[in-house]
């Protein structure tokens, strides 16, 4: 198991380096910024709290750039929604560490996350089951249970094709049971 984690971390590090190269070759390529952000996020799963926070800032900066360059890409809004949701869920101590290390902790609310997930849906209706998972989570967190249920139902109505879809469906079912 530890070997698998180290291997995944190495792949993420290599991918991040390649992403940096891609951005340096063409800083106006939205996809390069988006993939660099994704790899920063992936790498943060294997890092210390300090590096996790640093990669979080990089993630956000590069997603913002990807959106600036290609504002009609639903994936960038979905990913930004995930970032906002994660930041909104940060504990007090995580915020304090970020403030100590970087001067200002990242700031986002569940409402910010919701707006990004809604934007992804606006750009590309039925974008993904996972978008519905996070729409439902946001609405639930905001106390809007009827909206959360509607998102669970809408996501459940989508075909389950991939392994990610299967996992998303399990989450939708779980959220629905908790409402």
Confirm if 95 and 85 have CB atoms less than 8 A apart.
no
Q: What is the pLDDT along the chain (179 residues), one digit of tens a residue?
A: 456 888 888 888 898 899 999 999 999 999 999 999 999 988 888 877 778 878 888 999 999 999 999 999 999 999 999 999 999 998 888 778 777 877 777 789 999 999 999 999 999 999 899 999 999 999 999 999 999 999 999 999 999 999 999 999 999 999 999 99
Query: What is the reported pLDDT for 1?
Result: 47
pTM (predicted TM-score): 0.91
Separation between Cα atoms, residue 134 and residue 96, nearest integer Å: 26
79: left (phi over 0), alpha (psi -120 to 50) or beta: alpha
Residue 91 burial (C-beta neighbours within 10 Å; 0-12, 13-18, 19+)? exposed
Separation between Cα atoms, residue 129 and residue 143, nearest integer Å: 21
Separation between Cα atoms, residue 83 and residue 81, nearest integer Å: 5
- H/E run at residue 167: helix 163-178
Separation between Cα atoms, residue 154 and residue 136, nearest integer Å: 10
Confirm if 56 and 97 have CB atoms less than 8 A apart.
no
In the chain, what are the domains?
2-106 (1.25.40.10), 128-179 (no CATH)
Separation between Cα atoms, residue 43 and residue 50, nearest integer Å: 12
Separation between Cα atoms, residue 95 and residue 112, nearest integer Å: 17
Binning the chain into helix, strand and coil, the percentages to the nearest 5 are 80, 0, 20
Classified as helix, coil or strand, 179 is coil
């Amino acid at each position: 198991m530890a070997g698998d984690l180290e291997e995944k971390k190495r792949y993420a590090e290599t991918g991040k380096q390649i992403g940096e190269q891609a951005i340096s070759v063409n800083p106006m390529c939205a996809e390069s910024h988006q993939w660099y952000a994704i790899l920063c996020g992936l790498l943060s799963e294997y890092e210390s709290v300090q590096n996790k926070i640093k990669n979080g800032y990089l993630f956000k900066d590069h997603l913002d750039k990807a959106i600036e360059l290609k504002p009609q890409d639903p994936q960038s809004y979905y990913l930004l929604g995930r970032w906002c949701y994660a930041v909104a869920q940060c504990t007090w101590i995580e915020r304090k560490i970020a403030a100590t290390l970087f001067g200002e902790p990242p700031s986002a609310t569940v409402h910010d996350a919701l707006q990004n997930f809604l934007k992804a849906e606006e750009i590309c209706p039925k974008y993904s089951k996972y978008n519905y998972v996070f729409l439902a989570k946001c609405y639930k967190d905001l106390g809007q249970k009827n909206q959360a249920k509607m998102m669970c139902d809408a996501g459940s109505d989508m075909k389950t094709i991939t392994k990610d879809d299967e996992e998303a469906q399990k989450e939708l079912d779980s959220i629905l049971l908790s409402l």
